[in-house]
Amino acid sequence: MPRGETMNGSDHPQIAISGDVSIVLAGAAGLGIQTIEYILARILRSAGYNVFSSSEFMSRIRGGSNSTQLRVTAKKTSSYVDRIDVFIPLDIAAIEHCENRITDRTLILGEKDMLVTHHRVVDCPFTKVAQEAGGKLFASSVGVGVVCGLFGIEPAVIEAFMARHFASKNAEIVQKNIAAAKAGLDMGKKFVTDGVVSIVVDKDETVSKDCFMTGAEAIALGALAGGCDFVSSYPMSPSTTVLEFLASHKNDFGIVVEQAEDEIAALNMALGAWYAGARGLVTTSGGGFALMCEAVSLAGMIESPAVIHVGQRPGPATGLPTRTEQGDLDLVLYSGHGEFPRAIFAPGTNDAAFSVMRKAFDIADKFQVPCFVLTDQFFLDSSSASPAFEIPGKPDEKHVTTTEAGYKRYALTENGVSPRGVPGKGEGIVCVDSDEHTEQGYITEDLDLRVKMVDKRMRKLKLLEDETLVPRFIGPENFDTLIVCWGSNFSCVRDALALAGDSRMAMLHVTQLYPLHLTVKHRMEKARKVVVVENNATGQFARLLSRETGYPVHETILKYNGMPFSVEELVSRLSAARLQPKK
Please state whether the peptide bond connecting residue 238 to the residue before it is cis, i.e. omega within 30 degrees of 0. Answer: yes
Among 438, 467, 496, identify where a domain stops.
467
pTM of the model: 0.94
DSSP string, 539-582: -HHHHHHHHHHS----EEEE--SSSPPPHHHHHHHHHHHHHSPP
- The whole-chain average pLDDT of the chain stands at 93
Q: Are residues 68 and 200 in the same domain?
A: yes
Number of domains observed in the structure of the chain = 4
pLDDT of residue 20: 95
Please say whether the beta carbons of 176 and 166 come within 8 A: no
Among 53-62, 418-427, 491-500, the minimum mean pLDDT is found in 53-62
Q: How many CB atoms lie within 10 A of CB 451?
A: 10
Specify if 393 maps to a domain: no
Classified as helix, coil or strand, 138 is: helix
Q: Are residues 424 and 501 in the same domain?
A: no
pLDDT of residue 1: 32
pLDDT band at 577 (very low <50, low <70, confident <90, very high): confident
Give the CATH number of the domain where residue 196 resides.
Answer: 3.40.920.10
Q: Are residues 374 and 434 in the same domain?
A: no
Please say whether the beta carbons of 23 and 72 come within 8 A: yes
* Rounded distance between C-alpha atoms, residue 350 and residue 175, angstroms: 35
Give the CATH number of the domain where residue 317 resides.
Answer: 3.40.50.970
Q: Are residues 489 and 551 in the same domain?
A: yes
Q: Are residues 163 and 98 in the same domain?
A: yes
pLDDT of residue 4: 44
Question: Is the model's pLDDT at 528 over the cut of 70?
Answer: yes
pLDDT of residue 579: 66
Q: Are residues 205 and 66 in the same domain?
A: yes
Question: Is the model's pLDDT at 9 over the cut of 50?
Answer: no
* Rounded distance between C-alpha atoms, residue 81 and residue 72, angstroms: 12
Question: Is the model's pLDDT at 299 over the cut of 90?
Answer: yes
Among 174, 192, 209, identify where a domain stops.
209
Specify if 395 maps to a domain: no
Q: Are residues 201 and 216 in the same domain?
A: no
Classified as helix, coil or strand, 14 is: strand
Specify if 544 maps to a domain: yes
In which domain, by residue range, is 440 found? 400-467
Specify if 392 maps to a domain: no
* Rounded distance between C-alpha atoms, residue 241 and residue 247, angstroms: 10
How many residues can be counted in the chain? Answer: 583
Specify if 154 maps to a domain: yes
Specify if 394 maps to a domain: no
Mean pLDDT of 135-149: 93
pLDDT band at 423 (very low <50, low <70, confident <90, very high): very high
Strands 63-73 and 20-29: antiparallel
Specify if 545 maps to a domain: yes
Question: Is the model's pLDDT at 430 over the cut of 80?
Answer: yes
pLDDT band at 62 (very low <50, low <70, confident <90, very high): confident
Residues whose CB falls within 8 Å of the CB of residue 417, separated by 6 or more in sequence, listed in order:
366, 367, 368, 460, 463
- At 361-398, the pLDDT tens digits run 999 999 999 999 999 999 999 999 988 998 877 767 78
Question: Is the model's pLDDT at 137 over the cut of 60?
Answer: yes
* Rounded distance between C-alpha atoms, residue 248 and residue 99, angstroms: 39
Q: Are residues 367 and 429 in the same domain?
A: no
**Separation of first and last alpha carbons in the chain:** 43
Mean pLDDT of 53-59: 91
Specify if 338 maps to a domain: yes
Mean pLDDT of 266-272: 98
Among 12-16, 217-221, 511-515, the minimum mean pLDDT is found in 12-16
Most confident of 32-41, 53-62, 63-72, 504-513: 504-513
Q: Are residues 370 and 332 in the same domain?
A: yes
pLDDT of residue 32: 82
Return the percent helix, strand and coil in the chain, to nearest 5: 40, 20, 40
- At 157-172, the pLDDT tens digits run 999 999 999 999 999 9
Q: Are residues 499 and 572 in the same domain?
A: yes
pLDDT of residue 12: 47
pLDDT of residue 575: 87
Please state whether the peptide bond connecting residue 235 to the residue before it is cis, i.e. omega within 30 degrees of 0. Answer: no
Residues pairing with 509 in the sheet: 472, 485
* Rounded distance between C-alpha atoms, residue 401 and residue 228, angstroms: 19
Q: Are residues 479 and 559 in the same domain?
A: yes
- What residue type is 447 in one-letter code? L
Question: Is the model's pLDDT at 330 over the cut of 90?
Answer: yes
Please say whether the beta carbons of 238 and 322 come within 8 A: yes
Q: Are residues 478 and 533 in the same domain?
A: yes
